[in-house]
Structure 1
Amino acid sequence: MIDFILGLDPIFQVIIATLFTWGMTALGAALVFTTKTFNQKFLDGMLGFAGGVMIAASFWSLLSPALEMAETRSLPAWLPVSIGFLLGGAFIASIDKLLPHLHPNAPMSQAEGIRPKQRKRSTLLVLAITLHNIPEGLAIGVSFGAVAMGSPSASLAGALALAIGIGIQNIPEGAAVSMPLLRDGYTRRKSFMFGQFSGMVEPISAVIGFLAVSFIEPILPLALAFAAGAMIFVVTEEVIPSSQEEGNKDLAVMSLMLGFTIMMILDVALG
Structure 2
Amino acid sequence: MLVAFLLTLLAGGATSIGAALGVLGRGTSPKALAGGLGLSAGVMLYVSFVELMPAGAAVLSGGGATGPVSGRGMAIATGAFFAGIALIAVLDRLVPEPVSPHEFHGRMEGSHGHAALRTLEEQASDRALRARLLRTGTVTALVLALHNVPEGFATFVAALQTPEVAIPVVAAIALHNIPEGLAVAVPVRRATGSRSKAFWLATMTGLAEPVGAVIGYLLLAPLMSGGAMGAILAGVAGVMVFVSLDELLPAAEETGEHHTVIYSLIAGMAVMAVTLLVL
Judge same fold: TM > 0.5, yes or no.
yes
The structure-2 alpha-carbon separation of the partners of 1:192 and 1:210, relative to structure 1 and needing over 3 Å to count, comes to: same
Q: Which runs of 5+ in 2 are unaligned?
A: 64-69, 105-131
| 1:192 alignment counterpart | 199
Task: Look up the equivalent residue of 1:54 and give its one-letter code.
Answer: M
Deviation at residue 46 of structure 1 after TM alignment: 2.9
Post-superposition Cα deviations, 1:129-178, rounded to whole Å, max 9, x if no partner, equal: 5466344322233345xx5xxxxxx54x3464255434542463455436
Equivalent of residue 85 in structure 1, options 59, 81, 84: 81
Matches of residues 160-199 of structure 1 in structure 2 within 5 Å?
160-162=166-168, 164-166=170-172, 168-170=174-176, 172-174=178-180, 176-177=182-183, 180-181=186-187, 188-199=195-206
| 2:250 alignment counterpart | 241
Deviation at residue 103 of structure 1 after TM alignment: 2.2
Stretch of structure 1 that moved more, 204-213 or 162-171: 162-171
Contact 1:103 1:238 in 2 (8 A): no
Deviation at residue 201 of structure 1 after TM alignment: 1.6
| 1:3 alignment counterpart | none
Contact 1:18 1:203 in 2 (8 A): yes
**Is 1:256 aligned to 2:265, yes or no?**
yes
Matches of residues 54-203 of structure 1 in structure 2 within 5 Å?
54-72=44-62, 76-97=72-93, 99-105=94-100, 120-127=135-142, 129-130=144-145, 133-143=148-158, 154-155=161-162, 157-158=163-164, 160-162=166-168, 164-166=170-172, 168-170=174-176, 172-174=178-180, 176-177=182-183, 180-181=186-187, 188-203=195-210
Deviation at residue 104 of structure 1 after TM alignment: 4.7
| 2:109 alignment counterpart | none
Equivalent of residue 220 in structure 1, options 224, 229, 236: 229
Deviation at residue 210 of structure 1 after TM alignment: 3.1
Deviation at residue 235 of structure 1 after TM alignment: 1.9
Task: Look up the equivalent residue of 1:102 and give its one-letter code.
Answer: E
| 1:51 alignment counterpart | 41
Deviation at residue 227 of structure 1 after TM alignment: 1.3
Deviation at residue 190 of structure 1 after TM alignment: 4.2
Task: Look up the equivalent residue of 2:79 and give its one-letter code.
Answer: I
Q: Could you say what secondary structure the match of 2:72 adopts? A: coil
Cα RMSD (Å): 3.6
Distance 1:54 1:177 in 2: 22
Deviation at residue 228 of structure 1 after TM alignment: 1.2
Post-superposition Cα deviations, 1:56-77, rounded to whole Å, max 9, x if no partner, equal: 3323442132122123268622
Deviation at residue 95 of structure 1 after TM alignment: 1.6
Distance 2:50 2:24 in 1: 34
Distance 2:154 2:27 in 1: 35
Post-superposition Cα deviations, 1:94-127, rounded to whole Å, max 9, x if no partner, equal: 2223x2423253979xxxxxxxx89722234435
Larger radius of gyration: 2
| 1:204 alignment counterpart | 211
Distance 2:164 2:28 in 1: 36
Report the number of matched residues: 242
Q: Which runs of 5+ in 1 are unaligned?
A: 1-9, 109-116, 148-153
The structure-2 alpha-carbon separation of the partners of 1:159 and 1:51, relative to structure 1 and needing over 3 Å to count, comes to: closer
Contact 1:105 1:242 in 2 (8 A): no
Stretch of structure 1 that moved more, 232-241 or 124-133: 124-133
Structure 2 length as normaliser, TM-score?
0.68
